[in-house]
Amino acid sequence: MNKNDRQSFDEDGWFNTEDFAEIDSNGFVQILMRRTDRIVSGGENINPVEIENLILQMTEISEVSVVGLPDDIWGQKIVAVLPSSIAHHKVNPDDIKLFLKGKLAQFKMPKDIIVVESIPRTSSGKIKRFELIEMISQSNQPE
């Protein structure tokens, strides 16, 4: 973006990065998530990274993505996505939900566990959430 583009900056001159961040007690900025990654389910704002980090504490799981899929009742439903290489190692969706119970508020619990061939990532390793959502949506279309 052009730094002269006034729409990119607020009235105080701050550039909008579209990130949610916090400043810790030592004055360091920690990026919590991209605003576009936020899931809104039942009016609650949910950080998918929080759920991913908890699921990754399971020894059987080394890769997961959490996304919000459109839902007529909740707005978005939370879905955990595993690559098939991990799912084939006998990871039971009920085990994931049991592991998360008591560690997450109920409204943050994944409603579904979906298996895909692989989770799309950028060259730097970040999850391409929009591409993943599109991939899941296309695979669930009636033929």
Looking at the predicted structure, is the pLDDT value of residue 142 above 50? Answer: no
Q: Which residue has the higher pLDDT, 8 or 118?
A: 118
Q: pLDDT digits over 29-83, tens only? A: 766 556 667 788 888 888 899 999 999 999 889 999 999 999 999 899 999 999 9
User: What is the Cβ-side half-sphere exposure of residue 57, based on CA atoms within 13 angstroms?
Assistant: 10
Q: Residue 105 burial by CB count (10 A; 0-12/13-18/19+): exposed, middle or buried? A: exposed
Q: For all residues of the chain together, what is the average pLDDT?
A: 83
Which domains are assigned to the chain? 1-36 (no CATH), 38-139 (3.30.300.30)
Neighbours of 110 (CB within 10 A): 22
Looking at the predicted structure, is the pLDDT value of residue 137 above 70? Answer: yes
What is the pLDDT, as a whole number, of residue 143?
A: 45
The runs of H, that is alpha helices, within 39-89 are 48-55, 84-87
